[in-house]
Every structure is written in C-alpha cells, then in structure tokens.
C-alpha cells in the first residue's frame, strides 16, 4: 500500500512540475527553460555566481523583450526589462504591487517582523505613517551633532592606526565601526565604543551575529530570499535568538535609565519612547523599531561608504574636487553644518555615481496584489502583453537598468559628472532607495552619515589603494547585498605629511 501511495505521489509531483514549468509559456511570455527544482538560478544557489550575474545573462539574452519569465526554484517570477514598466510598478500603479516579496512571521522574528520593508498592506501603511516623523529633516538635524562626534572619532582612529600608510586598513571594517557607532547612539542611545580599541566591541559583535557576510546566518538569509519556502521550512530568523534577547535587554536598560533619571535626548530612541507612551508599545516593540534603524543604518550604509571610498581612491581627481569644495564651504559658513553637508555637489555626485557604478544590490522583488496588464509603448521592445494576478512575483533588475548602454552613456566608467543635478532625472532606471510610496524611509539618515564620514576622511587624508587589494574586486556570491571578497584595503596619508 505504501509503495502505491509513494508512486502516486511521485507521479502527481512530476505532473505538477510539468504543468508549473509551462506557467509563462501558457501566458505567451518568453524566457529560458527552467531546470528541475532549482529553476533558472542554479549557479547562484550553488555559490558560483552572484544573483546579479545570473540575472544579467538572462537580461542580455532577451534584449528585444520588455519582460522575461523565469523561475526562482519552482516559483515563477517576471523579470522586468522595460523602465516604464518599472515605473508603473513602483509609482503609477503601486497599489497593484503594494508588497515587497518578503514573508516574515512576527511571532518567530519579533524584532525584524516590524521592519517596514517586510510589512504588508495596511500594517505597512500604519507603521510607515507612525515612523516617518522620526526621519524628517528636522529630526535628522537634531541627530546630526551625534554623527559629527562619531566622525571625529573616525578620523582620530585612522590617525592613530600605524598601518594606514603602509599596508593600509580594511575600509569595510573601518566604515562598519563608523556606522555602528552612529546607529548605536541614535537608535539605542548608547556609545557603541567601536573606536576605543582595535578589538571588536560588544555592540559590533552583536551586529555581526545578524549581518556578517559569509556567516551561516548571512548565507541562510540569501538562500531564503531566493527560495522563500526555506524560511518556513528551516524556521530561519533574521535576528538570531541570542542577539534578539540581548537587543531587548539593552533597550530595557536604556528605557529604565531614562525613566529613572528623567533624561531626555534629541535622538531617534527618544522619538520611539514618545510613540510608545502614546500607543502603549511594549519594550519588545521599542526594540523592534530601534532594530529597524540599526539594521537599515548599519550594514547598507557601511557597504555604500566603503564603495565610495574605493571609487575615490581609484579616481583621485574627485578627491581633490571634494576637498576643494569642503574648504570653500567651511570658509563661507564657518564650518560644515547639517544644511551645507547636503550642498556639497561633488560629494553628492560621487555618492550617486557610486550607487550606480557599484550598486548595493542587484534586484528588487515585488508581489502583485491585484490584477494587472501591461503592453509596452516603447519601440525598443516587442509588442507583447502580460497579465499578472495576485501572488505573482516581479523582479526589478535595478543594477542592470542603470548600467544598460541604452539608458546610460559609458556605463562601465565612473563619471560623477553625469550625476551633477541629474540624479533624479530618470527614476525609472536610477532608484537606489526605491521609488514611490515604499521609498526607503531611512535614506536621509544614510546619506547624511555617509557624507559626513567621507567628508571628514577626504578633508584629512589622501586615499589610495593598498597593494593588498586587487582591483577590480570580486563579489561574494551568496550574500544579500553586493559584498566585496576580502574587504577593501586602502591607504590613508595625512594631508600635509
């Protein structure tokens, strides 16, 4: 009897897969034939290529088409190649693609489960509305002096490092210390102590437990992004249990300390405390919102800041432009302020070009929430139509669109000039923080801390590549963000030496 049931199950499974593999063919959507079980992403799943490299091959092969049907394991996904289609998804028809394709069980992962990035439908809208006042220009201006203080520690740390002018230092670890101390003081109201010694501080160790590239948790996060069913099957948590307990413990200590001492500081943590009083939030809720700031402000900002320093080391002409610009601003304004840090046009252009040239991530994945039909208007693509239904998944190849020769002149060259006053001119291909209603809520903080840190380093040091670093770099295949293998080793020569 068991053999009969097993044989029946296998036959039904094979039949289901056969039908499933024709998902896009039956809708008239072109695309490569999927492999059993692994779909079209096998080389990424086996750690041979990054997700961006795999998607690039498909993207280039179907150059005449506005979209391509592919499979993420056995799950069908629509790879969107037409910028206007991207704009419809993110902006004009965002209600048809309301949610990001990221399923988190809040009961199993209470800290990450309240991150606006993973929340869905009305719950996302309510949380976004609640947290947005904490990221306004006025609130960032309150936090700015804290970032200035950490940036001063960054410069002193580099000055006191005996290896900065010889072998150099790993800029990835350097920027991690910087962004970690920023989020520690702003989101948790504590000193991260990342610059007190060469040793890793407790707070940095905590961050590494969650986000370290190449770690078991990091690899599992990437695999469950490509194969969402694994998150449920393996009960994968974004924030491991021990880190979760420690973060809640830290928050509880800070809450109790501020209450007993009647201490009020103009930081993000105080903003969350006020919301907690108004809405009756628990310490776990407070920890969840502080963790959102922590996760969004630490690893991604450090990654981008590292890439920016690397690009400036390779292109020293732009270091001088930024340094001269800083000098002029300081002379005219008695130093750099919150307002003037956003007025450094060359620093801004180099940052935006870094986001294009060495992107933080390769794809965005959205879920269709109501029936939608699209036919391209552009003569660049064949006139074919796709109908999407609730539950269908679409992949937006962010890094490929803004490095496509159709839309960008000389995309393989680092040319910040192209970004001078033009970064927002075509949000259909350049959307490093997303676009539309679900634009990254923390982008203002991220930009502020990156600019302040880089401005201080450029002001005090000439930056160049270390002999220990091979350029162009290679990326770690299995990582959620684009991460350079072995770090980025740079030399820092004190200006005037």
Q: Where are the alpha helices (DSSP H) in 22-132?
A: 42-45, 51-61, 83-87, 121-131
CB 181 within 8 A of CB 151: no
Strand, helix or coil at 470?
Answer: coil
Report, in angstroms and rounded to the nearest whole number, the Rg of the chain calculated over CA atoms. 24
Residue 368 marked in a binding site:
no
Record the tokens describing residue 232, joined without a space. Answer: 């449920």
CA gap 67, 384 in Å, rounded = 9
Question: What angle is formed at CA 107 by the lines to CA 267 and CA 75, rounded to 5 degrees?
Answer: 105
Q: What is the CA 324 to chain-centroid distance, rounded?
A: 30
* CA nearest to 114, candidates 274, 285, 272, 281: 285
Separation in Å, CA 458 to CA 62, 67, 78, 182, 422? 43, 43, 43, 19, 24
Question: How many CA atoms does the CB half-sphere of 378 hold within 13 Å?
Answer: 12
Question: How many CA atoms does the CB half-sphere of 436 hold within 13 Å?
Answer: 18
CA gap 431, 428 in Å, rounded = 7
Characterize the bridge pairing of strands 364-367 and 393-396.
Answer: antiparallel
Binding site members: 440
Binding site members for heme: 440
């Amino acid at each position: 009897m068991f053999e009969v049931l097993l044989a029946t199950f296998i036959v039904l499974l094979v039949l289901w897969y056969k039908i499933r593999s024709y998902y896009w063919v039956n809708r008239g959507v072109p695309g490569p034939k999927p492999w059993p079980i692994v779909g079209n992403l096998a080389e990424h799943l086996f750690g041979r290529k990054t997700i961006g490299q795999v998607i690039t091959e498909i993207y280039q092969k179907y150059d005449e088409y506005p979209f391509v049907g592919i499979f993420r394991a056995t799950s069908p996904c629509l790879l969107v190649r037409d910028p206007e289609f991207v704009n419809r998804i993110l902006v004009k028809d965002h209600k048809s693609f309301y949610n990001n394709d990221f399923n988190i069980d809040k009961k199993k992962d209470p800290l990450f489960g309240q991150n606006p990035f993973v929340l869905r439908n009305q719950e996302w809208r309510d949380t976004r509305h609640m947290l947005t006042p904490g990221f306004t220009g006025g609130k960032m201006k309150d936090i700015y002096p804290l970032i200035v203080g950490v940036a001063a520690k960054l410069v002193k740390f580099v000055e006191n490092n005996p290896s900065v002018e010889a072998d150099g230092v790993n800029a990835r670890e350097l920027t991690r210390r910087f962004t970690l101390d920023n989020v520690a003081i702003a989101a948790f109201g504590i000193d991260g102590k990342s610059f007190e010694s060469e040793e890793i501080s407790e707070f940095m160790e905590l961050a590494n437990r969650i986000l370290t590239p190449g770690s078991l948790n990091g690899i599992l996060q990437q695999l469950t992004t490509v194969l969402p069913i694994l998150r449920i099957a393996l009960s994968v948590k974004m924030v491991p249990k021990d880190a979760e307990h420690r973060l809640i413990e830290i928050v509880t200590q800070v809450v109790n300390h501020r209450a007993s001492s009647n201490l009020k500081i103009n930081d993000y943590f105080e903003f969350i405390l006020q919301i907690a009083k108004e809405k009756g939030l628990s310490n776990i809720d407070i920890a969840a919102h502080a963790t959102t700031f922590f996760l969004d402000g630490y690893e991604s900002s450090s990654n981008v800041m590292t890439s920016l320093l690397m690009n400036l080391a390779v292109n020293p002409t732009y270091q001088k432009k930024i340094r001269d610009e800083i000098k002029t601003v300081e002379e005219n304004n008695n130093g750099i302020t919150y307002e003037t840090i956003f007025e450094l046009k060359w620093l801004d252009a180099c940052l935006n070009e870094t986001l294009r040239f060495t992107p933080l991530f390769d794809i965005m994945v959205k879920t269709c929430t109501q029936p939608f039909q699209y036919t391209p208007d552009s003569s660049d693509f064949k006139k074919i139509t796709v109908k999407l239904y609730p539950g269908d998944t679409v992949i937006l190849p962010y890094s490929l669109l803004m490095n496509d020769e159709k839309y960008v002149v000389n995309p393989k060259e680092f040319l910040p000039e192209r970004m001078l006053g033009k970064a927002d001119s075509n949000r259909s291909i350049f959307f490093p923080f997303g676009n539309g209603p679900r634009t990254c809520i923390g982008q203002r903080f991220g930009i502020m801390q990156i600019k302040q840190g880089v401005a201080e380093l450029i002001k005090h040091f000439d930056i160049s590549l270390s002999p220990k670093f091979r350029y162009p770099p290679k990326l770690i295949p299995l990582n959620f963000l684009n991460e350079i293998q072995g770090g980025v080793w740079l030399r820092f020569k004190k200006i005037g030496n």
